[in-house]
Amino acid sequence: MTQLNRVVYVTGGSRGIGRATAYRLAGPGTAVVINHFDPDESAADETLAGLAERGATAESHYYSVTDREAVETHIKAAAEKFGRLDVLINNAGITRDGLILRMKEADWDLVIGINLKGVFNCAQTAARIMTRQRSGRIVNVASVAGVIGNPGQANYSASKAGVIGLTKTLAKELASRNVTVNAVAPGFIDTEMTAVLPDKVKQAFMEAIPLGRAGRPEDVAESIAFLASDAAAYLTGQVIHVGGGLYM
């Protein structure tokens, strides 16, 4: 195997922002491991092919980030196989929208489970590896909804606000071991997650975004790549808003 200079783990890396991030971080000398939870492996396989094209050593892990045992087994296995773990991107996330008066308890639990507990599961596992290494980068994908709220997203906005709080606490706990923890808070990004929204909602976003367009997954990937890079060595506990000015 070629000498690896960076080992990256991206949850929810099969499509959308996760795939764009995996591609952005891929290159010769990198190992990029993606995780996903759709039993249909076609999107993950496509990402693996794209990673190979970019010269990365790539593999895909199929499990839910809510499954603590699976999280530990797979992230530890990657670190052992590739010799270390340099970067964890906690990107896996879902929406189950509904106004609070009608929101089902199951939809609350599911969203909090994947978007918030999933980040805890993966970050704790990675932190144990990274603190031993005395180096590491964790980047969490939050959302503008976690900062300003969004009608119909009580579960989602609570989960993302939780991710921001978790980011700041981990940043303080892990800084002495040279592990930085930051977040990006995307605004309205053109992925399968937003494709299902009614045209009226999309239009309202377009009118509220000063830069006048939806973000591309690659726009978010750039900020994530920066936070994961040596250039961001002196940044921790920060939230970068990638929303075309939607929130400022």
Q: Is 143 a residue that touches ligand NAP (CB under 6 A)? A: yes
- Are 39 and 14 within 8 A, CB to CB? no
Q: Is 186 a residue that touches ligand NAP (CB under 6 A)? A: yes
Neighbours of 233 (CB within 10 A): 10
Contact positions with ligand NAP (CB under 6 A) in 229-248: none
Q: Give yes or no: 156 in active site.
A: yes
Residue range at the interface with ligand NAP (CB under 6 A); choices 24-32, 33-41, 77-85, 166-174: 33-41
Q: Of 134, 137, 39, 129, which is closest to residue 78 (Cα–Cα)?
A: 129
Query: Which of 7, 8, 65, 154 touches ligand NAP (CB under 6 A)?
Result: 65
Q: Among residues 23, 63, 156, 247, which one is catalytic?
A: 156
Q: Is 46 a residue that touches ligand NAP (CB under 6 A)? A: no
Q: Of 34, 38, 40, which is closest to residue 10 (Cα–Cα)?
A: 34
Q: Is 16 a residue that touches ligand NAP (CB under 6 A)? A: yes
Q: Of 21, 26, 8, which is closest to residue 78 (Cα–Cα)?
A: 8
Q: Is 38 a residue that touches ligand NAP (CB under 6 A)? A: yes
Residue range at the interface with ligand NAP (CB under 6 A); choices 16-24, 120-128, 171-179, 233-241: 16-24
Hey, is 247 helix, strand or coil? coil
Q: How far apart are the C-alpha atoms of 139 and 229, rounded to whole Å?
A: 11
Residue in the structure block whose two tokens are 């929130």: 247
Q: Is 114 a residue that touches ligand NAP (CB under 6 A)? A: yes
Q: Of 179, 150, 172, 145, which is closest to residue 161 (Cα–Cα)?
A: 145
Q: How far is the CB of 194 from ligand NAP (least distance, A)?
A: 5
Neighbours of 6 (CB within 10 A): 20
Query: Which of 194, 222, 226, 247 touches ligand NAP (CB under 6 A)?
Result: 194
The residues that are catalytic are: 156
Question: Which residues of the chain form contacts with ligand NAP (CB under 6 A)?
Answer: 11-18, 35-38, 64-66, 91-94, 114, 141, 143, 186, 188-189, 191-194
